[in-house]
């Protein structure tokens, strides 16, 4: 039970920033644990695309060259329930 709730709390701690560049949008975020510590080695996948990122030691991740639109991020860590978060990329 603890493992399931931790990944869900990690999603609540996900802060996503979307910005525009000439080559596309950038989605940046930070995955944190329930006690607000960085969550490293967490996989962040943009559902229905081939784009993905792995969070660093500080919990941050970056997804580059995103086209305008609405996306669903799937956040997962082995042994924990996968969570999701919707984001919008606008230019």
Which one has a higher pLDDT value, 87 or 1?
87
Coil/strand/helix, residue 55: coil
Q: What is the pLDDT of residue 21?
A: 47
pLDDT digits (tens, 9 = 90+) for 2-38: 454 444 445 544 555 555 545 788 899 998 888 888 8
Coil/strand/helix, residue 58: coil
- What pTM was estimated for this model as a whole? 0.77
Instruction: Show the CA angle centred on residue 14, arms to residues 30 and 1, nearest 5°.
Output: 115
58-89 burial: b if 16+ Cβ within 10 Å, else e:
ebebebeebeeeebebbbbbeebeebebebeb
Question: Please, are residues 82 and 63 in contact by the beta-carbon 8 Å criterion?
Answer: no
pLDDT digits (tens, 9 = 90+) for 53-88: 999 999 999 999 999 999 999 999 888 888 899 998
Beta-carbon contacts of 80 under 8 Å, excluding residues fewer than 6 positions away, are 3, 4, 6, 7, 10
pLDDT digits (tens, 9 = 90+) for 31-58: 888 888 889 999 999 999 999 999 999 9
């Amino acid at each position: 039970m603890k493992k399931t709730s931790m990944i869900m709390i990690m999603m609540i701690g996900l802060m996503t920033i979307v910005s525009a560049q000439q080559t596309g949008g950038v989605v940046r975020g930070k995955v944190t644990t329930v006690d607000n510590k960085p969550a490293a080695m967490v996989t962040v996948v943009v559902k229905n695309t081939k784009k993905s990122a792995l969070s660093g030691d500080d919990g941050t991740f970056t997804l580059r060259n995103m086209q305008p639109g609405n996306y669903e991020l799937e956040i997962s860590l082995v042994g924990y329930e996968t969570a999701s978060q919707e984001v919008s990329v606008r230019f």
